[in-house]
C-alpha cells in the first residue's frame, strides 16, 4: 500500500536525485526507502534517480505507507487540537502527562492519545513527535503525520526556522537578557541538570517581563533545546520557576510554571507561514 504523496514542478534542468534531495528536501535515508518501497514518477512515468529533468517536468514522489508501532497502546484520552491538516497536528498538552512512553509512563502519554486520534480519523501512521515537553510543562506539541514531514520540521528546528515561545512565572522581576551558559547532568543525579563548563552549549533569550498578579510573567525563546534548559538557566540567574521543586522554586503550584505558548514556521508543503498558539493555562492565574 502506498502512502503520503508530494509533487513539484521543475524550474531548471537538473538530475532527478539532486532535485529530490535539494529541492524537495528528501533525506538520503528516506530516498533509499522510497526507491525500494515507494514510487518516483516524472510526468507520470516511473524514473530512476539518474534521470535528467527538464524545465516544466512534474515530479511525483509516493512514500511507503506507515504503520503504528505494535508496541504502542492506543489511548482514548481526549486531546485539545490547536491545528491540524493532512500532514501536521498540533496539540495543547496538559501538565501532568508525559509526551512519549517511557518505563515510568508506558501507556497513558500524549503520544498514545494522538495514536487514538489517528485511529478515529482512519490514519495509519507512526507517531512522529517534533518537540517534546517535560511531563509538567504544558502547551504546544507538534506531531508530523509522516516521516518526510518529520524530517523537514526537524531541519527547520536545527536552523531556528521553527521558533517556539514559552511563558514562565517567577516571583521577582527579570530584565530581558540572553543567557548563554552550557548545561550538563548534575553530579550524582539521573534527572537534574546544571550549568557546567563541561556541558552542552545552551542559549535562552528572555524577551519580555510583565507584572502578572503578584508575580512576573516571562516570555522566552530557546535558541538551543537542552534538557530542562529554561528551568536550569532561570535558577542560574537566581529566578527559578514558581513550583519548580527540583530547581529551588517557591512551592506555590502543583507543577513548575512553564508553558509552551506558541510555534511559528513555514509549512513544509505549502510554504505558507503557520502560527500556532496555546492559551495560558488556568493554574497560572491562581498561583
Active site residues: 134
CB 95 within 8 A of CB 137: yes
Residue 146 has φ and ψ, to the nearest 5°, of: -155, 160
Q: Report the candidate in 41, 86, 42, 39 with the shortest Cα–Cα distance to residue 64.
A: 39
Residue 20 has φ and ψ, to the nearest 5°, of: -65, -40
Q: How far apart are CA 141 and CA 14, in angstroms?
A: 37
Q: Find the farthest-apart pair of alpha carbons in the chain and give their distance in angstroms, rounded.
A: 66
Q: How far apart are CA 97 and CA 100, in angstroms?
A: 9
Q: Report the candidate in 163, 55, 157, 67 with the shortest Cα–Cα distance to residue 118.
A: 67
* Burial (Cβ within 10 Å: 0-12, 13-18, ≥19) of residue 59: buried
Residues 6+ apart with CB under 8 A from 111: 72, 99, 100, 101, 127, 129
In a 13 Å sphere around the CA of 36, the CA atoms on its Cβ side amount to: 5
Q: Report the candidate in 43, 46, 53 with the shortest Cα–Cα distance to residue 18.
A: 53
Coil, helix or strand for 133?
coil
Q: How far apart are CA 115 and CA 99, in angstroms?
A: 12
Amino acid at each position: 500500500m502506498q502512502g503520503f504523496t508530494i509533487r513539484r514542478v521543475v524550474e531548471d534542468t537538473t538530475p532527478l536525485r539532486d532535485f529530490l534531495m535539494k529541492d524537495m528536501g528528501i533525506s538520503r535515508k528516506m530516498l533509499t526507502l522510497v526507491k525500494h518501497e515507494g514510487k518516483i514518477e516524472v510526468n507520470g512515468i516511473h524514473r530512476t534517480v539518474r534521470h535528467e529533468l527538464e524545465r516544466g517536468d512534474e515530479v511525483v514522489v509516493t512514500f511507503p505507507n506507515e504503520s503504528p508501532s505494535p508496541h504502542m497502546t492506543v489511548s482514548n484520552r481526549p486531546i485539545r487540537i490547536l491545528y491540524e491538516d493532512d500532514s501536521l497536528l498540533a496539540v495543547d498538552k496538559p501538565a501532568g502527562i508525559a509526551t512519549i512512553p517511557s518505563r515510568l509512563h508506558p501507556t497513558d502519554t500524549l503520544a498514545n492519545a494522538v495514536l487514538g486520534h489517528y485511529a478515529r480519523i482512519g490514519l495509519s501512521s507512526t507517531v512522529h513527535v517534533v518537540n517534546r515537553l517535560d511531563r509538567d510543562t504544558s502547551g504546544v506539541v507538534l506531531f508530523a503525520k509522516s516521516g518526510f514531514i518529520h524530517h523537514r520540521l526537524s531541519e527547520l528546528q536545527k536552523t531556528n526556522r521553527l521558533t517556539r515561545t514559552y511563558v514562565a512565572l517567577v516571583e521577582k522581576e527579570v530584565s530581558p537578557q540572553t543567557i548563554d551558559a552550557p548545561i550538563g547532568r548534575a553530579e550524582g543525579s539521573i534527572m537534574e541538570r546544571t550549568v557546567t563548563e563541561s556541558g552542552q552549549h545552551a542559549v535562552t533569550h528572555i524577551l519580555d517581563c510583565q507584572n502578572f498578579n503578584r508575580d512576573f510573567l516571562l516570555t522566552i525563546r530557546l535558541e538551543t533545546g537542552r534538557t530542562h534548559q529554561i528551568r536550569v538557566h532561570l535558577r542560574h540567574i537566581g529566578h527559578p520557576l514558581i513550583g519548580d521543586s527540583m530547581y529551588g522554586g517557591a512551592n506555590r503550584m502543583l507543577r513548575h510554571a512553564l508553558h509552551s505558548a506558541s510555534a511559528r514556521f513555514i509549512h513544509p508543503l505549502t510554504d505558507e507561514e503557520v502560527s500556532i498558539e496555546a492559551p495560558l493555562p488556568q493554574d497560572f492565574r491562581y498561583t
